[in-house]
Structure 1
């Protein structure tokens, strides 16, 4: 009986040592993976990497990790020469295969998501335009509100307004409701469903250029293609998926 107790104690101790070694190994792997993602995606800051599954060491021996979750920062969106921050960027990578030299990894399947606030959407909008929440009913249809002073919107599109016309338009604001979508290339589009009637004719096309614009999100793994967008009171949330996504290397 005493011998059995001794064996149990030894088993517990060895098990604790294995668990500790396993956690040390996974922490080192997460750190090195984060560094490789930062360099390969050219991010301004190091991402957070969480390697799921236990034990980690047996996954390494099999050269395939069940799941790797990545939280990125330093991701940007660009439109018309403007660059803004994209927040809460995450990627969940599944069936991550490690190559024989342990120098690179590829995920068989991945999902990614990112948020961008209305304030940042406005920073990337054409001159004079402000993007905001369109209310629950329109948000459910993927729509946002784009508004601004009419004179500023037109001048932002290169329209030279005579002083008398500019004075006439003083205080005039326009509001359009734009549907947000994602192109096949992964760019985010804002397109107004209709334009308000202008107090002066002939500027409809210039106004449309002021409220319709595209956003290109950079910094996500290139193999993850954004294909969905949802509007909420806090901004827009984009999501997508991909296969054979290179995680590092």
Structure 2
């Protein structure tokens, strides 16, 4: 009986030691992966990395991780020479095959998202434009509201307005509802669905040039393409998916 009790205590102690060693190993791996992701992705901030599944050591031995979550705040988005902060970028990677000591890691599939506030969307918009919540009906379509003085919007787009026309546009406020859609190179585009009538004919093209703009968001692993947007009262969340996504290397 005494021998059985000692054996049980030994098993429990070994189990505790294994769990402790496993958790220490995963914390070291997460820290190392975070540094490598920052370096290989060229990020301005170090991401938080969470390796899912237990035990970790057996996953490493099999060169396969069930799932890895990445999140990073304080990254930049750029649009028209403006740089603004993205609230948070997240990526959830599944079926991650690793090689070496995390020298390469490729996820079979991945989902990514990036959140940005209306305040920062406004900073990235053409000068004079304000980006705000468009209401629940339009938000369900991934739309936002962009508004601003017509003269200032045209000027910020580099469009010359003759003196004779300025008087007609003076005090004219432009309000459009723009849909967020994917653009080339991983960027997203805010494009007005329609333009309001203005008292000066022939300025539709110039107005569209003034209110439509693109924004490049950094921080997502290469291979995740942002393809849709979800609007809320606090801002926009850009969403995307990818396959065979390179995490590091």
Question: In the TM superposition, what is the alpha-carbon distance from 1:146 to its structure 2 partner?
Answer: 0.8
Partner of 1:231: 231
3-state SS, counterpart of residue 245 of structure 1: strand
Question: In the TM superposition, what is the alpha-carbon distance from 1:148 to its structure 2 partner?
Answer: 0.1
**TM-score for both structures, normalised by structure 1:** 0.94
| Superposition pairs of residues 186-225 of structure 1, within 5 angstroms | 186-225=186-225
- Separation of aligned partners in 2, 1:51 and 1:246: 16
Partner of 2:65: 65
- Separation of aligned partners in 1, 2:25 and 2:134: 49
For structure 2, list consecutive stretches of 5 or more residues without a partner in the other structure.
none
Indicate if the aligned counterparts of 1:127 and 1:210 stay in contact, CA closer than 8 A.
no
3-state SS, counterpart of residue 186 of structure 2: coil
Partner of 2:90: 90
**TM-score for both structures, normalised by structure 2:** 0.94
- Separation of aligned partners in 2, 1:38 and 1:29: 14
Partner of 2:21: 21
3-state SS, counterpart of residue 158 of structure 1: coil
Partner of 2:247: 247
Q: Deviations over 1:37-95 (max 9, x none)?
A: 00001111110000111111111111111111110234322211112111221111111
CA-based RMSD of the aligned residues comes to: 1.7
3-state SS, counterpart of residue 8 of structure 1: helix
Matched, 1:104 2:113: no
Question: In the TM superposition, what is the alpha-carbon distance from 1:245 to its structure 2 partner?
Answer: 1.3
Partner of 1:47: 47
3-state SS, counterpart of residue 180 of structure 1: strand
For structure 1, list consecutive stretches of 5 or more residues without a partner in the other structure.
none
| Bigger shift: residues 84-93 or 99-108 | 99-108
Q: Deviations over 1:126-174 (max 9, x none)?
A: 2221111111111112211111011111212233345565455333211
Partner of 2:171: 171
Partner of 1:81: 81
- Separation of aligned partners in 2, 1:134 and 1:53: 41
Partner of 2:120: 120
Partner of 1:156: 156
Q: 1:184 to 1:81 in 2, by over 3 A?
A: closer
- Separation of aligned partners in 2, 1:32 and 1:148: 47
Aligned residues: 249
Question: In the TM superposition, what is the alpha-carbon distance from 1:110 to its structure 2 partner?
Answer: 1.0
